[in-house]
Amino acid sequence: MGIPELLDEHFPTHGNWQGLSLGNVAVVWLCHILSQADHCLNHVQGWAEKHLDSIEMSLDEDLRALDMSDDRLEITLRYLSKDSDWNSFEQAMNQRHLQVYDLNRDRVRLDSTSVSGYWDETPAGIFQRGYSKDHRPDLPQFKVMLATLDPLGLPIASEVVPGNRADDPLYEPAVHRVRQALDQRGLLYVGDCKMSSLRTRAVMQSGGDYYLCPLSKTQVSAQQLQAYLLPVQEGKVTLEAISYDYANGTTAVIAQGFEHVHNCEFLLDGQPVTWEERRLVVYSMAHAQAEKKALQGRIEKTQTALQSLNQPRRGRKPIQDLENFRQSAETILAQNRTQSLFHLSYQEQVEKQTQRKYGNRPARVIKKRRFQVDYALDQTELEQQMQLLGWRVYATNHPTPKLSLADAVVAYRHEYVIERGFSRLKGQPLSLRPMFLQREDHIKGLVRLLTIGLRVLTLVEFQVRRSLSLETQKLSGLYAGNPKRATARPTAERLLSSFKDITLVLIDTGDETFADLTALNPLQQQILQLLDFPVEIYTCLGPQSHDPP
C-alpha cells in the first residue's frame, strides 16, 4: 500500500524529529491496533518492546521502544490532524490504490455516523450534543462522514465534523471531496434518504454525476404516494419483478415496482438546474411484512394504554380536569404515531361519596369527577395505510440502459457495505469506541489513522476473495470447531486471526543468538499465496543465528 512512504512525503516533520520516521511509527501503531483491538496510546510502547526483534526485521530498520512512546504517538496524531496535508496524502493514496489494485471507479457510497464520549461540550469545537446513533443523547459527540468505493467498501474520503451538525448538509462537501480524490465525473453516488435533498441532487446533476437514494416522506407525501399507486390499483401499470442473488447461491423475488418520470428544477448558486428524474416506485415484500407487524404493534400498545387510562389504579391520583385527561389520551396517540387511526370521545362521571363524621368534623357528601375515553379504530384509514406499507420511492438521474429498475434496487440493498465499514471502525478490531482521547486534534488524527486501518482490512479481504474467485476455490480451516467449513468470501478478521499462534523465540547463548519460529501451517501458507505475499516475510525471522544485540 505504500503507506509509510506516502505519509513521510505528505507530512514533513520538524527538523528535531529523530528515530523511526512518522510513516513507520504510524504503520507499527496500526499493527498494534489491528492485532490488539486497542487504540490506547500508553499500551503501544510495552507491546513494541515485546516484539522489538520482529518489528526491526520486518521494517529492516532499528527501532527504539521510545519511538512508540505515547508522546511520540500524540505528535503523530497532531501531524495527521492537519487538513491540507491530509487532503494531499488521501488523494495520493487513492490514486496509488486504484492503480495497483485495478479497482472500478463507478459507484460511491456516502453515509455518516456519530461517536459519543465523556467530553465537555465545546461551543466552537466538534464535541456537541445532537441526534445520537449510539443511543446516548446525554453525551457530547462528533460525527464521521465517510465515502467508500464499491464493491469492496474501500474508504476514499473521510471528514470529522461537530456532533450537532445535521446529516443533510454533509453530503455536498463529501461529493466535492470524492471528486477531488478521484478526479473523475460520471460516478453513481448511493446514499440513504438524508442524501435526497434537492440541493444535493442538483449538485450531482450539475457536476455530471449520478445519484440513487430513497426519497423521504417530506419529499413524497402519503397523498403523492397514493397518486403514484393509483394506476397500479386500476390495473393500468404492470409491475416488474425484482430478483436478488444471495451469497448462498439461491435467487428469490424480493420486490416489484415501476418507474415514473419527474421533472426537477433548482436554483443552484444563482444558476437554474433542470433535469428529468427517474422515480422508482418499489414494493418490498419483507419491508411490507415488517411494517405491518410494527403498525399492528403500535395499535395494540395504543389500545392497552387507553384502557389503562380509563381504569383507576391504587397509588395513582385520578385526573380531575378534562383538559389534562384529553392531553394524556392524545399523548398516548402521539407516542405510538396512531393519531389518524383512532377517534376519541370523552365522558364525564360524577360520583358521590359520603364522608362520615370524625371528631368535630361533621358528615358530608363529596363529589368526585371521573373521566373516561372511548376510542374507535378507523378501519377506512387503516386500510389506506395498509395499502401504502412496503412501498418506497427511489430517485435517480442515471440513464435506464446502464441502471435498470432491478439494478437500482439491488444497488441500494448493498448499503450494508458502508455500514459494515462503520461497524469495523467503531468496533473491533479498530475500536474507535470507547474513545479515551480528549483533545480535538488528537481525535481527528486518530480517526484518520483508523480509516487507513479500514483500508488495510478492506484490501486484504478484497485481494483474497478475488484470488479465490479467479481460481474458483474456497478456503477452509478458518472457523473454530468446524475446520472443514469452506468459504469463498472470508473476512479479513478471520484471515488475520489465523496467524495469531505464530511465535518467535530468541535464545541468547552469549556468543550467538538463535531464533526458533513456529512453522507455517498449510492454511497460513495458502493465505499468503492468495495475498501474493512471499513466505519469506515470516521465514526471514528464523530459524537462523543472529548477531548478539
CA atoms of 290 and 438, how far apart (whole Å): 41
Model confidence band, residue 548 (pLDDT cutoffs 50, 70, 90):
very low
Model confidence band, residue 545 (pLDDT cutoffs 50, 70, 90):
very low
pLDDT, tens digit (0-9, with 9 covering 90-100), for 64-101? 888 899 999 999 999 999 999 999 999 899 888 888 77
Residues 110-126 as b/e (b if ≥16 CB within 10 A, e otherwise) read bbbbbbbbebeeeeeeb
Q: Model-level pTM?
A: 0.86
CA atoms of 450 and 431, how far apart (whole Å): 9
- CA angle (240 as vertex; 236, 241 as ends), nearest 5: 140
CA atoms of 344 and 348, how far apart (whole Å): 14
pLDDT of residue 269: 87
Does residue 37 come out as left (phi exceeding 0), alpha (psi in the -120 to 50 range) or beta? left
Q: What is the DSSP code string of 426-446?
A: HSTTT---S-----HHHHHHH
Identify the CA nearest to 373 among candidates 343, 350, 398: 343
Q: Which residue has the cell 444497488?
A: 411
CA atoms of 403 and 409, how far apart (whole Å): 10
Report the amino acid identity of residue 498. S
pLDDT of residue 123: 82
C-alpha cell at position 142: 462528533
pLDDT of residue 394: 95
pLDDT, tens digit (0-9, with 9 covering 90-100), for 464-482? 999 998 888 899 989 988 8
CB 394 within 8 A of CB 282: yes
- CA angle (332 as vertex; 328, 338 as ends), nearest 5: 140
**pLDDT greater than 80 at residue 106:** yes
Under DSSP, is residue 521 helix (H, G, I), strand (E, B) or coil?
A: coil
Mean pLDDT of all residues in 153-161: 91
pLDDT, tens digit (0-9, with 9 covering 90-100), for 346-398? 888 777 767 777 777 777 766 677 888 899 999 999 998 998 999 999 999 99
Tell me the CA distances in angstroms from 179 to 205, 334, 335, 493, one per residue in order: 13, 44, 43, 31
Q: Considering the chain, what percentage of its residues have pLDDT values greater than 70?
A: 96
Residues in a beta bridge with 371 = 348
CA atoms of 186 and 179, how far apart (whole Å): 10
Domains of the chain: 104-287+393-437 (3.90.350.10), 290-386 (no CATH), 475-546 (no CATH)
**pLDDT greater than 90 at residue 506:** no
CA atoms of 541 and 58, how far apart (whole Å): 8
pLDDT, tens digit (0-9, with 9 covering 90-100), for 257-316? 999 899 999 999 889 999 999 999 999 999 999 999 999 999 999 999 999 888 876 666
pLDDT, tens digit (0-9, with 9 covering 90-100), for 162-199? 999 999 999 999 999 999 888 888 899 999 999 999 99
C-alpha cell at position 395: 430517485
Count of other CB atoms within 10 angstroms of residue 329:
20
Residues with Cβ within 8 Å of residue 235, at least 6 apart in sequence:
none
Model confidence band, residue 544 (pLDDT cutoffs 50, 70, 90):
low
Identify the CA nearest to 461 among candidates 425, 416, 492: 492
Where in 150-290 does DSSP place strands (E)?
Answer: 154-162, 188-190, 210-214, 240-245, 251-268, 271-284
pLDDT of residue 549: 43
pLDDT, tens digit (0-9, with 9 covering 90-100), for 396-447? 999 888 899 999 999 999 888 899 999 999 988 898 888 888 999 999 999 9
CA atoms of 332 and 211, how far apart (whole Å): 39
* Neighbour-count burial of 402, counting CB atoms closer than 10 A to its CB (0-12 exposed, 13-18 middle, 19+ buried): exposed
C-alpha cell at position 508: 541468547
pLDDT, tens digit (0-9, with 9 covering 90-100), for 195-221? 999 999 999 999 999 999 999 988 998
Q: Which residue would you say has higher pLDDT here, 500 or 33? A: 33
pLDDT of residue 34: 92
State the chain's mean pLDDT as an integer.
Answer: 88
C-alpha cell at position 480: 473454530
C-alpha cell at position 443: 481525535
CB 420 within 8 A of CB 109: no
CA atoms of 268 and 27, how far apart (whole Å): 43
Q: β-pairing, 188-190 with 210-214?
A: parallel
CA atoms of 204 and 176, how far apart (whole Å): 9
C-alpha dihedral, 458 to 464 to 468 to 473, nearest 10°: -120
pLDDT of residue 278: 94
Identify the CA nearest to 394 among candidates 508, 258, 286, 510: 258
Per-residue DSSP letter, 235: T
CB 182 within 8 A of CB 156: yes
